[in-house]
Structure 1
C-alpha cells in the first residue's frame, strides 16, 4: 500500500500505516512465542495455497509454526517495529519523499517472515532472495551517492555468488529425497545414510548437500571470504544497518543451518569446516574492527564477528546456543546501530569517531544506551551477551575436539578484542576533549521517535538473556524446542554445558573486563599509546586498517580479469562481430546502391550499349553450357 500508493497517501500516512501494522505484528509475534514457551505443543503447519506443480515436484505456500520459527518471528517483528518507529525520526530531515523507504522496510520484513516460517526450501529460498532484493533497494536508498550504489551492487553480487551454491544444494536435496519439504527430508535421512555423490571423486551425499547449503549461508551471513559486502553496506541509512545487517537478514544463514540440523548432524566433515570458518571469522572481523575510524563500520565488523560465534556453535552441534545468541544479539546489536545513528544524527551526519569526543553531556540517553549495548556485546554479567556468548564458548570447550579448542581459544581472544574496540568507540565518541568544536556545539539529543526504541532495545539487551536462557539452552530446552532443533543421539553437548569447569566458564568474562581496562588505559589514561603502537607496528596497523587486503586481493583475482573479459566480449565479440555483420551488410548495400545510381545517366546510347553487352554475355553463356 505504502509503496504503490505512497504518492497519494503522503509520507505521514505511509509512515503511520507501515509502523502501526508492524507494532501489531510485533505484539502478535511476541505473544505467540510466550504461548510456545509456556504451553508447548506440536508444530503447526498451515497451507495457504498450492504454489508450484511441475511433474513430481510440488511446493505449497505454507506457514510452519514451531518454536524455532516462532522465536525468529518474535525477534524479527519486534526489531522491525522499533526500526520503523526510529526511522520516522531519523528520516525526518530528508528533503525527498520517504514513503518508498518505509515500504521497502515493510517488504523486507515480509520476505524475512516468509523465510523463517517456510515449510520447505523453495519458500525459504523465496524469502532468501526477497531479503537480498530489499537489501539492495535499502542500501541504495540515497541513490544520488555513487558509494551507496556501489555498495548495493556489491551486496547483491556477492550474495548471488553464494546463492548459486544454495540452489544447487536444494536441487540435490530434491534429487536425493524426492521432496523439498522439511518433514519429508528429515524422515528419510536415516534411510539414505550410505548414499554417495560422484564428482571429482566420491563423496558422502550429506556432506555435499550440507556444504552447498553452508556456502549459501556464508554469503548471506557474511562469513570469511564472502564477507566483503557487509561493511560497505553501511552506506545505507542507519536504520537499514540495524534491521538488515545486525538483527535479521544476516542471521538467515544461521537459521538455515539450525533448521537443517537433522541433516547437518550427519555431515561431520561439513560441521568441522563450519567451526573453522566461524571461529576464524569472529577473530578476523574483531581485529579489523579494532582500527576502523568509522563508527558504523566498527559495529558492522562486530556483527560479522558475532555471526562467527553463531556458526562456531553450529559446527560443534550446539544449535540451540547458536539460535540463542542470534536472538540476544539482535537486541543489543540493533541497539548499538541505532545508538550510532543517534550519534550521527546529533553531529550532523559525521561518522568519523576521531572528529567527535566529549558528547556524553550533550546526548546522555544515547550515551547510556551505548553503554548497555556494549556491556551486552562484551558479555558482562548480567547482560544478554553474557548468557548466550558464554554458552557458545562453553559448548566449544565441551566438544573436546581440536577444532572445538580452536574455536574456544579464538572466541576468548575475540571477547577481549570486542570489549577493547567497544570501549574504544565509547571513549572516542563520548569522552575526552571535543576534537571538532563546531560539531560539539551543535550536538543535541535525538527526538522521542528515536530515543523510545533505544530504551526498549536496552531493556531487551539487559533482560533477554536472563529470561530466555532456561528455555533456549537450560534445563527446559528439550521441551521448548520440541524437535524444532535436532541433536543426533550421540550429541549431548547442550546437556553438558553445566559441567563446564568453573575457571573455563569465567575466562570470557575476564577477557571482556580486561578489554575494557586496556581501552581505558589507551584512550583515557594515556591517549598517546594508540598512536605509538600504530607507528611502531605500521605494517600490522595497515594490514588491519585495509581489512586484511581482501578487497584488493579480490580486485586482482576476480574483478580485473572479469572486467578484461567483459571488455574483450564487448569490443571483440559484440562490437566486432555481432554489431559488425549487420553494419557491414548495410554498408555493402549502400555502396551497391551508390554504384547502381551512377549507371543511371539518362543517355539512350549508354543504355543501348549496356543492353548489347548483356545480350552478348547471355548468348555466350548459353552457348558454353548448351
Structure 2
C-alpha cells in the first residue's frame, strides 16, 4: 500500500510526460487525477491505521541507495504519525488540485505537460515526507524545487513568469546550500545520516549538566567548536534550508512572485507541498533542534517576525492572489514560532488545518479570476456576491477559518480557531527568550490577518461593480469540476480543527504521535498552554473582531477612507506596498554587485586575460603572421626571381665575408 501511495504520482508523471501527445489532454487529465485520487484514499487508510490506530512506526524498504565507506544509505519509506499526517495533506490537496485543474486549465493547449508537472511535484514531496534519512530527504527537497521552477514558469512565453521561476530557484539555492552544509555537519557529529541512528546518538550527545564541554568536534569557518556550539551551528544551517523552502524572512521574496504560475499551482505550493517542507523538516529533526536552546530561540524570532512582516504587507496588496500569498507567508511564521517554543504538535496541527483553508482560498480565488475574464486586481472587481454565490460562500468559509472564527473557551469554531489560537497561547507559555515577543507579534498579526482577509471579501464581492460592463456581462459561476473540490476543502476548513484538536495538541497527544515528535522532558508547554490566563485565551478572538470591524468600516461603511489614509500616510503606504523594500535591498546589496562582478569576470577575466592571452591571443598572432606571409605571395614570377637573386647575393656576400675572417 505504501509503495502505491508514493509511486502512483510518479507513474502518472511518466505516462503524461512521455505519452501525453499519444493519449491526449483528456487522457492525461484522467490518468494523473485518477492515480492521485487512489493515492489520497490510501493515505487516509494509512492515517487511520497508523496515527489513529495501534500501529507503531516502521519502515518499508525500497532499494539500496548509496554505499560509500561508512556511508550506507537505503531508500526506505519511514511510516509514523508525522508521515501519515503529511501523506494526507499532500495527497488530498494534490488530488483536489488535479481535479480542479481539469476545469481551470480547460483552454490551455499544454495540459499534458501541466498535469505531468503536478504529479512530479506531488511525488517529490512524498519522497521528502517519507524519507528515512537526510540524503533521501534532500532528494525530495531538490525535487520540489525543480517542480516549482517548472510550474511557476509554466507559461514560459511570459517574461514575468520566467523571472519568477528563476527567482524562486535562485533564492532556494541559498537556503539549500545551508541545508546541505547542515547534512554534512550531522554526518560529522553523529556518524550517520539515517534518522534512527542520528536520533539515538542525539539522546546522549551533549555532556551532562555541569560536566566539561569536551573537546572540539567540528571546525566551521575557521573556528573549532565544542559539542554544544557545533550542534547549534548545525541546527541553524538546517534551519537556513527551512527558511528558503518555507519563505521566512529574508528568504521569502520568491513566494509572492510565484503567483505568476497558474492558480492551481499556487494552491499546491502554498497549501501542501513546497512551503510546508521546511516546517516538516524542523519537526522531523526535533531531536536535533531540542539540543540547542539558541537555535530554537532563533527559530522563534524569525517565525514571529515573518508572521508580523507578511501580515503588514498583506494589508495593502491589490492582487487577490498576492494577498493570499502573503497570508501563507504569515501563517508559516506562526508554525515556526510553535516549532521554536517546542510546541511541535501545534505546528503540525496548524500545517494540517492550514492546508484545507489555504487551498480553499487559492482555488476560490481561481474561481473568481475564471469568472471575471482572468482579472486579478481587486480594485476592478466588486459586486460579485450575487453573480457567483457558490464561490462567494466558499471564500467566506476559507476566510472565517483563516481568521480563526470561533467561540472562546468552547469547542465551537473553525479549523484556524483551534490551531492558530493554540500557537498564540503556546507562545505566551513558552520559555525561551523570544516567546514573549512572539506572543505580541502573533497577536498583532492576527488583527492584520482578519483585516486583509475581510478586505479581500469586501473588495471582491461587495459594493459596486468596478469592472467593465463587458466583463460583468460574462461573469459566470465555475463548473462543478471546479466547485466540488471547493466543497470538500470547505468541510475540512470548518471541521478539521474540532475533530482533530484532541489528537494533535490535546489529551490524545501521546497515543496519537507515538514518539514521532520529540520534546525535552522539562518542556511542559503541552500542559501549560491549557492554563494561560483568560485574557490570553481571549486575545486572538478580540484581534479577529478588531480586524473585521476595521475592514467593514473601511470598505463597506466608508469606502473613501482607505484612499484618504493612503494619501495622509503616503510614506508608510509606499513602504508597505513595496514590501518593506526587501526586493530593492536585495537588488542593491546582492544582485547588482553580483552582476557587476560577473560582467567584470566575463569581460576582463575571461575575455581579456584568459582568452586574450590564451587561445584567442595565440590564434590572433598566428593569423597576423600568416597574413604578413601571405602578402609576400604575389604570384608574379619576376618577384620570385628577384627574391632568389637577393638571396643568392646575400649568400655570396656572407661566404666572402666569412672567408675573409
User: TM-score surpassing 0.5?
Assistant: yes
Residue 134 (str. 1) matches residue 147 (str. 2): yes
Kept after mapping to 2: 8 A contact 1:247/1:333: no
Aligned residue for 2:478? Answer: 446
Partner residue of 2:519 out of 462, 487, 494: 487
Q: C-alpha displacement at 1:424, in angstroms?
A: 0.3
Distance 2:101 2:16 in 1: 15
1:536 to 562, 568, 580: 568
Corresponding residue to 2:72 among 42, 58, 66: 58
- Give the aligned partner of residue 10 of structure 2: none
1:591 aligns with 2:624: yes
SS in 1 for 2:18: coil
- SS of the equivalent of 2:627 reads helix
Q: 1:11 aligns with which of 1, 25, 34?
A: 25
**Structure 1 Cα separation of the partners of residues 96 and 659 of structure 2:** 96
SS of residue in 1 equivalent to 2:373: coil
The 1-side partners of 2:290 and 2:399 are apart by 34
Q: Are residues 1:171 and 2:184 paired?
A: yes
| Match in the other structure for 2:602 | 570
Give the Cα separation in 1 of the matches to 2:200 and 2:655.
87
Task: Check whether the contact 1:372–1:462 (CA below 8 A) recurs between aligned residues.
Answer: yes
For 1:68, the equivalent position in structure 2 comes to 82
8 Å Cα contact 1:356/1:439 also seen in 2:
no
Provide the secondary structure at the position in 2 that maps to 1:432. coil
- 1:369 aligns to 2:405 (yes or no): no
TM-score normalized with structure 1 length: 0.97
Q: Which residue in 1 is equivalent to 2:549? A: 517
Paired residues of 1:332 and 1:460 also in contact (CA < 8 A): yes
Q: How many residues align?
A: 624
C-alpha distance 529-402 of structure 1, shift in aligned 2 (>3 A): farther
Q: Residue 405 in 1 paired to residue 436 in 2?
A: yes
Larger deviation: 335-344 or 245-254? Answer: 245-254
Q: Does the CA contact (< 8 Å) of 2:306 and 2:329 recur in 1?
A: yes
The equivalences for 1:18-57 within 5 A come to 18-57=32-71
* Aligned counterparts, 1:293-442, within 5 A: 293-381=318-406, 382-436=413-467, 437-442=469-474
Contact map agreement 2:293 2:432 (CA 8 A) in 1: no
Structure 1 unaligned regions, length at least 5: none
CA spacing shift, 1:80–1:614, aligned 2, 3 Å: farther
Question: Residue 17 of structure 2: SS of its match in structure 1?
Answer: coil
Give, in whole Å, the separation in 2 of the partners of 1:218 and 1:237. 24
Q: 1:238 to 1:622 in 2, by over 3 A?
A: farther
Aligned pairs for 1:211-360 within 5 A: 211-360=236-385
Aligned to 1:606: 642
Change (3 A) 1:54 1:611: farther
Conserved 8 A contact 1:79-1:331:
yes
Q: How far apart are the structure 2 equivalents of 1:620 and 1:476?
A: 116
1:444-502 residue CA offsets vs partner (Å, 9 max, x unmatched) = 10111110000000001011111111111111111111111011111121122221222
1:493-544 per-residue CA deviation (whole Å, 9 max, x = no partner) reads 1122221222211110111122111111111011111111111111111000
Deviation for aligned residue 1:606: 2.7
Q: CA offset at residue 59 of structure 1?
A: 1.2
Could you list the runs of 5+ residues in structure 2 that have no partner in the other structure?
1-14, 208-213, 407-412
CA distance in 2 between counterparts of 1:584 and 1:398 reads 70
CA 387–612 in structure 1, closer or farther in 2 if over 3 Å, else same:
same
Query: Does the 8 Å CA contact 2:341/2:432 hold for their aligned counterparts?
Result: no
Partner of 1:209: 234
Shift of 1:4: 0.9
Deviation string for 1:533-584 (max 9, x for gaps)?
1111111110000000000111110111111111111111222233334333
Shift of 1:246: 3.0
**Separation of aligned partners in 2, 1:539 and 1:64:** 52
- Match runs of 1:87-102 below 5 Å: 87-94=101-108, 96-102=109-115
From 109, 113, 128, the equivalent of 2:122 is 109
**Rounded Cα–Cα distance in structure 2 between residues aligned with 1:504 and 1:101:** 46
Contact (CA 8 Å) 1:356, 1:440: kept in 2 or not?
no
Structure-1 separation of matches of 2:339 and 2:59? 26
Q: Which deviations, in whole Å up to 9, do the C-alpha atoms of 1:167-224 show, x marking residues without a partner?
A: 0010111111111001100101133314654446454111011000001100000001
Deviates more, 1:240-249 or 1:354-363: 240-249
Q: Does 1:143 align with 2:156?
A: yes
Contact 1:37–1:471 (8 Å) recurs in 2: no
Aligned position for 1:527: 559
Q: Does the CA-based 8 Å contact 2:49-2:55 persist in structure 1? A: no
Cα distance in 1 for residues equivalent to 2:296 and 2:655: 88
Aligned equivalents of 1:593, 1:154: Cα separation in 2: 49
* Residue pair 1:90, 1:450 contacting (<8 A) in 2 also: yes
1:231–1:617 CA distance, 2 compared to 1 (3 A): farther
Displacement of 1:400 after TM fit?
4.3
Equivalents in 1 of 2:232, 2:658: separation in Å?
A: 78
Contact 2:50–2:56 (8 Å) recurs in 1:
no
Shift of 1:615: 4.4
Bigger mean CA deviation after superposition, 594-603 or 159-168: 594-603
Distance 1:17 1:164 in 2: 36
Shift of 1:57: 1.1
